Amino acid sequence: MTIRLLLADDHAMVRRGLQVFLATQSDIELVGEAANGQEALDQATALQPDVILMDLNMPILNGIETTKQLKLTHPDVKVIVLTSFSDQDHVLPAIRAGARGYLLKDIEPEELVNAIRRVRQGQVELHPEAAAQLMNMLATTSHEASTDIAPSESLSASMVGTAAADSSLLRYLTRREQEVLGLIARGMSNKEIGSTLHITEKTVKTHVSHLLDKLGLVDRTQAALYAVKHGLG
């Protein structure tokens, strides 16, 4: 099934770059573009996209306010924030607004399209830095504050619950796998981890696969949450 995608970003060069790359994906159709939040709302009504890639810093109506309105008027549309900001002042409001994903613009293209597919299927996608911000907030705020975040469009219980998994599982990781896990929690891509540890990107992928299996996790987001919860990274 083809995913109908709307791109909302006020930078024409960003839109053009994504347009060129997304054109190579047979299962993703870029149905429209918007240069500000109001245009995104109008285009969502006219084009009925499945997923919207949403920048945060846009004129007229910013990405967070646009996402809030979309969840009221188009609840079936899934929003993935694609931004340069990874601080708590942006991550948490975006999640509260109903974003199903929060990714940074330095993401690898293949990782981006895979995230789009997973969000379309109902999963939540968080960049490790965004996941760390969320985990820190959950760890330091009161139960009342935590429950204020929980309803925000299903930040799945498995995602948060897995982060609290038994820390004794860490003993099954090799020293290198623990190093990789800590760097995932710091928001590094496989390429950056390979450069830091002086190993190939393929080797990093192997370590990531092994540590996910050993910890019973399904993706890097859960790994980042787990690592932050247990003091890594």
pLDDT digits (tens, 9 = 90+) for 72-122: 999 999 999 999 988 878 888 898 899 999 999 988 888 899 999 999 988
Residues 118 and 196 in one domain: no
Residues 24 and 126 in one domain: yes
Residues 124 and 21 in one domain: yes
Structure tokens at 161: 């619950």
Domain assignment of residue 199, given as a range: 156-229
Domain C-terminal end among 96, 130, 164: 130
Which range is least confidently modeled, 12-16, 75-79, 83-87, 147-151?
A: 147-151
The pLDDT of residue 150 is above 50: no
CATH number of the domain residue 216 falls in: 1.10.10.10
Residues 107 and 197 in one domain: no
Torsion, CA 148, CA 166, CA 103, CA 74, rounded to 10? -40
The pTM of the full predicted model, rounded to 2 decimals, is 0.65
As for how many domains the chain has, the answer is 2
pLDDT score at 66: 97
SS (H, E, C) 171-225: HHCCHHHHHHHHHHHCCCCHHHHHHHHCCCHHHHHHHHHHHHHHHCCCCHHHHHH
pLDDT score at 228: 75
- Is 99 inside a domain boundary? yes
Confidence of residue 146 (pLDDT cuts 50, 70, 90): very low
CATH number of the domain residue 109 falls in: 3.40.50.2300
pLDDT score at 140: 57
